[in-house]
Chain A
Amino acid sequence: MKVMVSAFVAALVIAFLAPVVLDQFGWSSAEQYSSESVRLD
C-alpha cells in the first residue's frame, strides 16, 4: 500500500516538475510562438 501511494505521489511530482524542466530547455509555448523582443516575461 505504501509503495502504491508513493508511486502515485511520484507521478504527481513528475507532472508538476515536467513543465518547469521543459521550460528550462526552451520548450515553452512562449518560446515557440514569439521572439524575445516581444515577450513580456
Chain B
Amino acid sequence: MNFKIFGAAVFVLATLLFNPGWAEEAPEVDRTSTGGAQTLEDIMARQAQMEVDETFRSENLGDPANAAPISDELGTLGGRSDADAWRGIRYNELDPSTQVRGPAVDVLIQDGGMSWYQLREGPVIAYGGGAILGFVLLLVVFYFVRGKIRIDGGPSGTKIERFKAIERFGHWLLAGSFVALALTGLITLMGRSFLIPVIGLEAFSTLAVGAKWIHNNISWAFMLGLVLTFCMWVVHNIPNKLDWQWLKAGGGIFTKSHPSAKKFNAGQKIVFWTVMILGFSVSLSGLSLLFPFQMPMFADTFGFMNSILGTNFPTALAPHEEMQLSNIWHSVVAFLMMVAIIAHIYIGTVGMEGAYDAMGNGQVDLEWARQHHDLWVDEVQAKQGKGESS
C-alpha cells in the first residue's frame, strides 16, 4: 500500500518536472516580402504565445557608416531612419542625451521587462511552487513508509547539553527570519496569481506592502544569523572521511543502524553548506535588489565568466536588466533553500524522536546523542572528565 502511494508521488513529481512551462519556438519566417521587417506570421506566432526570435529587428538599427550626406533627406539622422531610431530606443541600443540627472535616466524603454515578467509568472512559479508541494508530498509519503525515527530502547532520562544558548540564538535568528522571508517572498511572487482572486485587490495591496516591508528589513536579521551560525559551526562542518562512512550507511535511515558521527553528521553538514552557499547567494542578489544602482551584480559576474569560460554573456546591462536577472536568481535560489529547509524542519521535528530538544532547550537525551553523535558524546565526556566545559 505504501509503495502505491510512493509510486503516485513519483508520478506527480515527474508530471510537474516534464510539463512544458515555457513557450515553444516559432518556425523560421521568410521576410523577403517585407524587406526584412515584421510579417503577419511573426504577429500570429506571438499571439499563439510562441517565442519569436527578435534579432531581425533588434539588430536592424541602421548603420551610421552608411550615413547619407547632410544635404540628403536622412543626413541629420546619421544613417538611421526614424524606424531605426525607434527600434534602437525600444531595444535600449540607442545612446540618448538627456539633461535629467539620476540613475538609469538614459534608458527610455526596457524591452526585457515582458520576458522577465513571463518567466517570473510562468516557469518560476510553476516549477518553484511545484517543487515545494512535491517535496512536502514526498516527505509525507516518506513519513508513512519509514515512520518516526525512534530512540532505540527508549530515552535514558539523562540529559546532555547539545547546543549553548548563543548557538540556539543564532539558529533561531536565522530560522525565524528565513521563515518570514520565505512567506513574504511567496506572497510577493505568487500573490498576484493566487491571492488577488481570493481576497481582492484592496486587501492584497495592504498585504503586499506589509510583505515588502518585512522582506526588505528582516533580511538584515537573516544575514546576521547567517554570519553568526557560520562563525560558530564552520569548524564542525569541515568534511572528513567519517562523512563518507555515514553516507554509505545512508545515515542509518533505512538500515536502522547508527553510523558514527561527531557534533554534526554528513547529512547535517550537507544542510549547513547548502544553507551557507545558497544563503550567501540569496543575500547577494537581495542586496543587489535593495540597492540596484549601487550594487549591480550580473554584469561583473558575466564578465568574469566570459574571461574564464570564454562564454559570450552580455556585460553592458541596464539597471533594469540587472534587477530582472537578480530577481529571477533570487527566486530560484530561494526555492532551492526552501526545499532544503523543509527537509531540515521535517527531520528536526516530526521525523526524529528527540531531535527538536537540541534546538528547543539545548538538552538532548544521552541515549539519543549516543545513537546519532557517539563520537561527539565521547569528546564531551572526555572534556568533562578533565574538568573542562563542553
Contacts and interface: CB of A to CB of B under 8 A. Distances in A.
A3 interface: yes
Interface residues of A, number: 17
Contacts of B362: 3
Given A7-B176, A10-B221, 5 more contacts: A4-B176, A14-B221, A15-B218, A19-B217, A32-B293
Interface in A1-41: 1, 3-4, 6-8, 10-12, 14-16, 18-19, 27, 32-33
A18 B172 CA distance: 19
Interface residues of B, number: 27
B214 A15 contact: yes
A8 B172 contact: yes
Nearest to B293: A32
Which of A10, A11, A12, A33 has the largest count of B CB atoms less than 10 A from its CB? A11
B220 A15 contact: yes
A4 B163 CA distance: 13
Interface in B241-283: none
Interface of A: 1, 3-4, 6-8, 10-12, 14-16, 18-19, 27, 32-33
A6 B177 contact: no
B165 A11 contact: no
A15 B217 contact: yes
Given A32-B103, A33-B102, A14 B220 contact: yes
A31 B254 CA distance: 59
Nearest to A11: B221
Contacts of B291: 27
Given A7-B176, A33-B102, A14 B224 contact: yes
B173 A7 contact: yes
B147 interface: no
B184 to A, nearest CB: 11
A18 B168 contact: no
- Cβ-closest 5 pairs across A and B: A7-B172, A11-B221, A15-B217, A14-B221, A15-B218
Contacts of A16: 217
Nearest to A21: B220
Contacts, number: 54
Contacts of A1: 360-361
B169 interface: yes
A7 B293 contact: no
Interface in B281-301: 291, 293
B271 to A, nearest CB: 19
A11 B177 contact: yes
A8 B176 contact: yes
A3 B103 CA distance: 44
Contacts of B225: 7, 11
B218 A6 contact: no
Nearest to B174: A7
B238 to A, nearest CB: 26
A34 to B, nearest CB: 9
B9 interface: no
B169 A6 contact: yes
Contacts of A3: 165, 168-169, 172, 362
Contacts of A14: 217-218, 220-221, 224
B139 interface: no
B217 A7 contact: no
Nearest to A9: B176
Contact of B220 (A4, A18, A33): A18
Contacts of B217: 14-16, 18-19
Which of B180, B221, B291, B359 has the largest count of A CB atoms less than 10 A from its CB? B221
Which of A3, A27, A33 has the largest count of B CB atoms less than 10 A from its CB? A3
A12 B179 CA distance: 13
B66 to A, nearest CB: 41
B221 A15 contact: yes
Contacts of B216: 18
B173 A10 contact: yes
A1 to B, nearest CB: 7
A34 B309 CA distance: 42
